[in-house]
Structure 1
């Protein structure tokens, strides 16, 4: 059993990967965006090279360069976690080792997707990656994308691994997550923005959020209110963030929506790489209208 802590802070963003107009990695934009998220949105950490970071369409070299860039920009004042897991365990081991060399402070390991491995394979996958580095690891449980969830029995065995210390929980099953968290002592971070406050209230210590790109300060204010015992204010802030949910997790895929929203604020992002499309004018207007309607609480 481990004590419940906040090993990676409380409010983290699943950061997008900025691209130039020609579609290349925008290292200057990545540094600028990282500073904005940490210094202006008040985030404790950044998760790079995840799904929101378009990991399926970035090269291994780009992934390492992004980590180096962001570590140089904000690594002295924020936790930098690198996604380093695919459906190929050997490739994932190489990604993990390169992320460690690039300066990542921790790794995000997603359940192998597409091939639908059994639990034995999932456990072996995570064990192989975590055993190849000296970094703490956060498991990413997201059945809507990976198709296969991590079972409670697997969590119990994986929790015995000293490098596996946390979970990004995108199962949307708060009851099961609470049960597993208590049984294993693993630290839980919410990975479903619609459940941020509810998850926090049931013992998850923070979030790895997409909407934090635009409303990180508001999420922090919500958690501060809850920590201070002002549940009514925390709930009011949560309600006020509904337009952000509609804007960034509505008709457009999350990466497309966030990049459009950042562009509207003059921040780096660029267009997504195909097969993800850029936001249409109709979608961009929808995003702008909803974000503009967020009321201060």
Structure 2
């Protein structure tokens, strides 16, 4: 369960339906070209919070069918609807996903007792292992070292996807819980997290930049920091241009230049205007050498 995991994107058609052919192509690109160690399915990058329960199940099924046992699969099942989260957790466990993950419950100002009960409720109903998905900037939920410790008391909770710039807390978690898995969630901070001895990373830009992510992570592990820093610099140049042009839409357009039917984003995400489509192609030519 260690290494570089792509936060998998999903191909949708113009009506917002899952494009199975395109989704399979995105999966194959990640496995055959980027050669990542695993896939994180139905997270933010998969537009999970914009789709129905049945679409989520459809995506889980297609990805598992395409991947088989080739790489590790983590299924993000978190939802404000606890019944949906449990239903999806059971569904992917039956599909033999290697682990489940769940974003912290958001929007309502849940206290920590409610957050802890949310995770424990999911795990009471499924025989699988859990990766906490902590992303305070989008959920508004920040947890401290003691609270992570309380969650980790549940032996089924094996780690955390840590998408935050708090490297002090990251180091404290690493020191206090050496047996738990820590995945970095900020692609632009991969090197900084890697020197703190994380176990891997989960990122959206790995859909097009997985090879560099693997190099950064592996070089940092080998103590080749200067080489890793140079690759992180190029990676951050790429990320800056992607963000300026539109994150998910640009990654999909870049995948299209690689022959991948990456489709469209679901509304209310906008469709890129022609000038931004052209810019995405130029970014791909610059960084992907197409």
TM-score bracket for this pair, using the shorter chain length: over 0.9
Gapped runs of 5+ residues in structure 2?
none
Deviations 1:234-273 (A, max 9, x none): 1111112123212333341x32222222223321221111
Residue 203 of structure 1 corresponds to: 197
Shift in Å at residue 106 of structure 1?
A: 1.0
Kindly indicate whether the alpha-carbon contact (under 8 Å) linking 2:188 and 2:239 is maintained by their aligned counterparts in 1: yes
Pick the structure with more helix per residue. Answer: 2
> Are 1:140 and 2:133 counterparts?
yes
Deviations 1:8-36 (A, max 9, x none): 23101111111134431112222221121
> Are 1:233 and 2:235 counterparts?
no
Kindly indicate whether the alpha-carbon contact (under 8 Å) linking 1:247 and 1:257 is maintained by their aligned counterparts in 2: no
Shift in Å at residue 87 of structure 1?
A: 1.7
Measure, in 1, the Cα distance between the counterparts of 2:96 and 2:57: 9
Gapped runs of 5+ residues in structure 1?
1-7
Residue 145 of structure 2 corresponds to: 152
Q: Which stretch of structure 1 is more off in the superposition, 284-293 or 114-123?
A: 284-293
Measure, in 2, the Cα distance between the counterparts of 1:129 and 1:95: 10
Q: Which stretch of structure 1 is more off in the superposition, 192-201 or 80-89?
A: 80-89
SS in 2 for 1:293: helix
Measure, in 1, the Cα distance between the counterparts of 2:206 and 2:157: 25
SS in 2 for 1:259: helix
Measure, in 2, the Cα distance between the counterparts of 1:201 and 1:228: 10
Measure, in 2, the Cα distance between the counterparts of 1:103 and 1:78: 12
Shift in Å at residue 145 of structure 1?
A: 0.9
Kindly indicate whether the alpha-carbon contact (under 8 Å) linking 2:132 and 2:161 is maintained by their aligned counterparts in 1: yes
Shift in Å at residue 70 of structure 1?
A: 1.1
Deviations 1:101-126 (A, max 9, x none): 23322111101111120011111101
Residue 217 of structure 1 corresponds to: 211
Measure, in 1, the Cα distance between the counterparts of 2:34 and 2:152: 32
SS in 1 for 2:44: coil
Shift in Å at residue 295 of structure 1?
A: 8.6
Measure, in 2, the Cα distance between the counterparts of 1:295 and 1:41: 11
Residue 26 of structure 1 corresponds to: 19
Measure, in 2, the Cα distance between the counterparts of 1:293 and 1:174: 31
Kindly indicate whether the alpha-carbon contact (under 8 Å) linking 1:9 and 1:79 is maintained by their aligned counterparts in 2: no
The two structures have a TM-score, normalised by structure 2, of: 0.93
SS in 2 for 1:52: helix
Measure, in 2, the Cα distance between the counterparts of 1:256 and 1:177: 30
Kindly indicate whether the alpha-carbon contact (under 8 Å) linking 1:109 and 1:138 is maintained by their aligned counterparts in 2: yes
What do you get for the CA RMSD once the two structures are aligned?
1.8
Residue 165 of structure 2 corresponds to: 172
Measure, in 2, the Cα distance between the counterparts of 1:110 and 1:255: 19
Residue 118 of structure 2 corresponds to: 125
Deviations 1:123-159 (A, max 9, x none): 1101111221111111011111111112322211111
Cα 1:27–1:103 change in 2 (3 A) is farther
Measure, in 1, the Cα distance between the counterparts of 2:199 and 2:244: 26
2:249 is matched with which residue: 252, 256, 262? 256
Residue 88 of structure 2 corresponds to: 95
Cα 1:46–1:116 change in 2 (3 A) is same
Kindly indicate whether the alpha-carbon contact (under 8 Å) linking 1:226 and 1:234 is maintained by their aligned counterparts in 2: yes
